[in-house]
Structure formats: C-alpha cells, structure tokens
A = this chain, B = another copy of it.
Amino acid sequence: RIRPHPIPSASMNAHTLATLLHIGADPDPVLFQTTFTTRHVGEKETLIRAGDECRSLYVVHSGFFRSSYLDRSGSIQGLGFPMAGDTLGADGLATGRHTAEAVALDCSEVVVIPVAQLTALSRSHAALATLFYRLISREIVRDQCSLFLLGSLGAEARVAAFLLDLSDRFSALGYSRTTFNLRMTRQDIGNYLGLKIETVSRIMSGLSQQGLISVHHRAVEILDPAGLRLAVEDA
C-alpha cells in the first residue's frame, strides 16, 4: 500500500533527541548542531523486517509500533509495543541483520540514526556515544523486565502488569494515565504476554468484574491502579 501523498521528511537535533529519550544531556552545542532525519511510517507499514540488513536504528518520535520475533517454524513472539522515546532495531547491530520486525500500529514518525553515523558520531563526540550506549542498554532492561513477566507471573498478573505499564507510558507522554485506547489486538497482547487470546479476553473481563478496570473492546479505563498493582504482586 503506497502512501498517496509525499512522505514528509524533517530533521531533529541530537539535544532534542536526548530530551525525547528522557536521557539527561548537557547542553553541549555540538548536540544542537548534530541533526538526524526523521521518517514517516504509515499505519500497518513494516519499518523493519526480520533478516533485513541493519542500516539504521530508529527512535520513535510519535505513533505506536509492535515489534516481534519470528521463529523459522512460523510461530511469533511479541517483544513489545514501542512508542515515543523507544528504540527500534538495536538487535541488528550484533550481526548486521535484524532478527526482529517492527510494524507501525498507528501512523508514526521515527528519527533515523544510520549505523555509520553511530560510530562516526561516537568517535567525534563523547556525549553522543554515551547517549547511544544508554539507548541500547535500555532495550536490554526492557527485555529483561518482559522476561520476568513471562517467567514468573501468572496470566492475570501479566495482563495487570501490561495495563499498568501502558498506563505509565501513556502518562509519561502526556496522555491520560487512566483512560486510553489499546492500539493492538488481543492477538498482539497474547503474543506479547505468552497467552492465548481467549485467556487475555477472559482476564480482561475478570479484572473488569473485580472493578479494577473497565473494558469495552479497545477502550480501557483503569479504575483502581492500586488494586491492579496488588494483582501483580500476589501472583
């Protein structure tokens, strides 16, 4: 599906990028001089395909993605739902080829960081090198949290934790902490949490009946955050 209108292209300086990433950076003039281009990604468009050569990293500027790992045998494992400030493609640096794919669930915009610039800029400016290392390391922390979710928590706790995580992230971006629309399908949630979609649906209903949330398809309202946190803990 080709976008009918010209693809908007803009640029962003490194200091703004650091702000977007919530990574504190000294107001080094070089950070203002260094700019990256941004790229538009249409809804349902695949930004990164598994097996692709890794030419750039991407930092989400706006929009919403789904990233997932594809096994040769066809089964899929959701890895996360990156949104503004999150990084895409850091898995590709290791071997030069991406192992995970990234699809936009919303019309989105990403900051493009060519790998060539990654090393070139690391070389010229220590502040940028630090920025990049933190960027990539954050992916590790995020993945390890997900591992904890999948390995140690029961189904209800996983869903509760998932909703609380979304709540926090939306809130951090200035959206409502309590009321939001899920951009992903139940299938996507299931793939991410290691649950079948019936289970996800059932547990959503269960949390609703407990009065912790209110759900209508993709519209979610968090009624009792403390209660949800409790549902995560005691599992």
Determine whether the beta carbon of B118 is less than 8 Å from that of A148: no
Contact with A75, one of B79, B99, B152 (Cβ below 8 angstroms): B152
Nearest-neighbor residue (CB-CB) of A127 within chain B: B119
| Any B CB within 8 A of the CB of A46 | no
Give bound CA distance, A198 to B44, whole Å. 43
A92 to B144: give the CA distance in the assembly, Å.
Answer: 12
The answer to whether B73 and A141 have CB atoms under 8 Å apart is no
A148 touches B77 (CB 8 A): yes
Residues of B within 8 A of A133 (CB): 93, 118-119, 132, 136
**Secondary structure of the A contact surface, majority rule:** helix
In the docked arrangement, what's the CA distance between A144 and B136, Å?
A: 14
Interface residues in A40-75 (C-beta closer than 8 Å to B): 69, 71, 73, 75
Residues in chain B near residue A126, CB distance under 8 A: 119-120, 122-123
| CB within 8 Å for A144 and B94 given contacts A119-B130, A151-B194 | no
Answer whether A69 and B194 are a contact pair too, CB < 8 Å, given A119-B130, A136-B140, A139-B140: no
Question: CA–CA, A194 to B147, complex, Å?
Answer: 9
Chain A residues at the B interface, C-beta cutoff of 8 Å: 69, 71, 73, 75-79, 90-95, 99-100, 118-120, 122-126, 129-130, 132-134, 136-141, 143-148, 150-152, 191-194, 233
20 new A-B contacts at CB < 8 Å, known A132-B133, A150-B194: A69-B145, A75-B152, A79-B144, A90-B140, A94-B138, A94-B140, A99-B141, A99-B144, A118-B129, A119-B122, A119-B126, A119-B129, A122-B123, A123-B123, A123-B125, A136-B137, A139-B140, A143-B147, A147-B150, A151-B192
User: Among B93, B137, B150, which residue has its beta carbon within 8 angstroms of that of A90?
Assistant: B137
The CB with the most chain B CB atoms within 10 A, among A69, A99, A136, is that of A136
